Amino acid sequence: MDAFEVVKPGFLSTVQDLGRIGYQKFGVPTSGAMDRTALRAANLLLDNKEGFAGLEATAEGPTLRALIDVVVAIVGADMQPLVDGRSVECRTAIEIRSGQTLELQRARRGLRAYLAVAGGIDVPTMLGSRSTCLPAAFGGVCGRALREDDRLPISPIDRQPTALIGRRLPSGWLKPIDEVLTVRVILGLQEDEFTSEGIHTFLSESYRVTPQMDRVGVRLHGPAIAHRSGADIISDSTPLGAVQVAADGQPMILLADRQTTGGYTKIAVVMQEDISRLGQARPEQVVRFRQISISEACAALRTYEERFDVLRRTWQSPPRERGSYRLRLGAGSYRASVDEVRGAYRVSLEGIERELDDAEEQ
């Protein structure tokens, strides 16, 4: 069921979910959303499963024409979304009617925005994921970024969940990146390949994001990190968030479309929550590294997941018991019921014995 037609594709717009897990041993990158936090939150806003595929827009988003009535949520970078030229809110479930145009403009804050659609984008599944792998040109829409006249299908659903319209993320739930982005790291995998001075430099100095950044990784520039005897190693696996240091002493953080193995020393690995924050970093962003222990990383991961648990419990709690009232207007007698659902009230009248005149309706 086609939901959108691409009018303008934007700078780099791809279909992404939470990644292609379990195939790195065969040389297949994981891909997936660069900011997993934003995609998960966008899906939860719509009562989608968190791993449903959405659209990742980079720097400047696409313009899409709705082919059916849909309910969507946009989370991540502020791309000043417009529906038929009218400003609409980010981080909120909104309805787009058939024929209306959704435009994501240039990002004012952050770098990537995520468009989730009720039902999820339904491109073919490849190796357990709908994510676009740009380096290998498969997944998503023909293994590439969106182009003009592409169509985006969604999974068939009985009806769009209009009752969710207006649901929004709690204020402050997603925090903007500070002027200095401090990312937490666990030292390794080749920590012993660096001098003590090199490790001290890595953990105490500031680095800047360079224009050499994409979905494969973010290259940083700053004080050189000293090796003991060179940067080359026998190639081994490259986990998400691995910080490679080449012969020039400059760190590079490997991200969603990274190669599955690499032959440069890895001084540390960035923890999961901060990888999402790196997905919003722009060129010239200042980055610092802070060492944490494995136990601290596990505790931080639990706290991170608990934030999603709170959202689920908040939005999936059953409605309060219906209140029922007897209402008399003039000579008419009616049964009125009031439901509270997700902070809104729905009033219905039953057993209407005659039509109301204008004064009674008021």
Could you read off the pLDDT tens digit of each residue along the chain, which spans 362 residues? 899 999 999 999 999 999 999 999 999 999 999 999 999 999 999 999 999 999 999 999 999 999 999 999 999 999 999 999 999 999 999 999 999 999 999 999 899 999 999 999 999 999 999 999 999 999 999 999 999 999 999 998 877 888 999 999 998 899 889 999 999 999 989 999 999 999 999 999 999 999 999 999 999 999 999 999 999 999 999 999 999 999 999 999 999 999 999 999 999 999 999 999 999 999 999 999 999 999 999 999 999 999 999 999 888 755 444 456 666 666 666 667 665 544 455 666 655 444 444 444 44
pLDDT at 315: 84
pLDDT at 171: 87
pLDDT at 124: 97
**Three-state secondary structure string covering 133-147:** ECCCCECCECCECCC
Distance of alpha carbon 42 from alpha carbon 61, whole angstroms: 16
Domains, the chain, with CATH or none: 2-164 (no CATH), 180-313 (2.40.100.10), 323-361 (no CATH)
pLDDT at 79: 97
pLDDT at 333: 64
pLDDT at 316: 74
User: Residue with structure tokens 């479930």?
Assistant: 93
How would you classify residue 145: left for phi > 0, otherwise alpha for psi between -120 and 50, otherwise beta? beta
**Three-state secondary structure string covering the chain:** CEEEEEEECCCEEEEECCCCCCCHHHCCCCCCCCCHHHHHHHHHHCCCCCCCCEEEEECECCEEEECCCEEEEEEEEECCCEECCEECCCCEEEEECCCCEEECCECCEEEEEEEEECCCECCCCECCECCCECCCCECCECCECCCCCCEEEECCCCCCCHHHCCCECCCCCCCCCCCEEEEEEEECCCHHHECHHHHHHHHHCCEEEEEEECCCEEEEECCCCCECCCCEEEEEECCCCEEEECCCCCEEEECCCCCCEEEEEEEEEECHHHHHHHCCCCCCCEEEEEECCHHHHHHHHHHHHHHHHHHHHHHHCCCCCCEEEEEEECCEEEEEEEEEECCEEEEEEECCCCCCCHHHHC
